[in-house]
Amino acid sequence: MALQDAAPWKRPLDLLPRQVLTAQAQGRGVEQPKPNAIGADAALRRLKEGNARDVANKPAHRDFSAGRAERTRAQYPITAVLSCADSRVAPEFAFDQGPGDLFVVRLAGNFANDDGLASLEYAVKFLGVPLVMVLGHSNCGAIGAAIKVVEDNAELPGHLPGLVRSIKPAVEAAKAKSPHDLLAAAITENVALNVKRLETAHPLLASFAQSKEVKIVGGVYDLANGKVGLLS
């Protein structure tokens, strides 16, 4: 059985190279580039173009049933996205991408906890994504809750205090700059801090980032107009 035909969970991890796969062509084994071996700049360009289509309400026509059989054998996402769980934010729609194009990790506040980090490591190491994006959004409720805790000592129920603890550093860093709009500033700061965390996450992501095999970027999705602004 060819490696490409084996079920992903049955393949030995050491037989899953990052940028090439073994395929059968005309009766002999050849090395072919993976479909997502396009480089970070090309991946980011596709996201920008897709977001422009979404903002203009001119999405690409897609047949979502096409490629289902092929997708059962493998996936080749062009970008891994760490996004908020907010129901108003859907990265596939925001960037006008189809099934299998984005590897999305979502949780309220779009911060990198250990489980999310492990998921991103999998996407980079074994799926070969060339680009990782931390995607925040305007009017984020999780960031707003963290602000209330920092400023008003608000008490939250259940497991929410643990979530807010992971967001507080961004709120405190933003507040120290005395911004006109603390919520907007904290949203941006939270994205920036998590980009930095991923860039320095040893042993995997930091290594790929330093070697420039993977680029890690941050962006903020505007709920009002659908535009994604990239952090400089």
- For 105-162, the pLDDT digits (tens) are 999 999 999 999 999 999 999 999 999 999 999 999 999 999 999 999 999 999 999 9
* Res 29: pLDDT: 58
pLDDT band for position 30 (cuts 50, 70, 90) = low
* Res 69: pLDDT: 85
Does the structure show a pLDDT above 80 at 42? yes
Does the structure show a pLDDT above 50 at 202? yes
How far, in Å, CA of 64 to CA of 77, rounded? 16
pLDDT band for position 64 (cuts 50, 70, 90) = confident
* Res 18: pLDDT: 52
> What is the identity of the amino acid at 3?
L
* Res 8: pLDDT: 42
Lowest model confidence (mean pLDDT) among 54-63, 92-101, 166-175: 54-63
Q: What angle do CA 39, 40, 42 make, to 5 degrees?
A: 70
Report the mean per-residue pLDDT for the chain.
Answer: 90
Does the structure show a pLDDT above 50 at 104? yes
Q: How many residues does the chain have?
A: 232
How much is the CA Rg of the chain, to the nearest whole Å? 19
Buried-state track 45-75, b at ≥16 Cβ within 10 A, e below 16: ebbeebbeebeeeeeeeeeeeeeeeeeeebb
pTM of the model: 0.87
Instruction: Give the H/E segment covering residue 208.
Output: helix 204-210
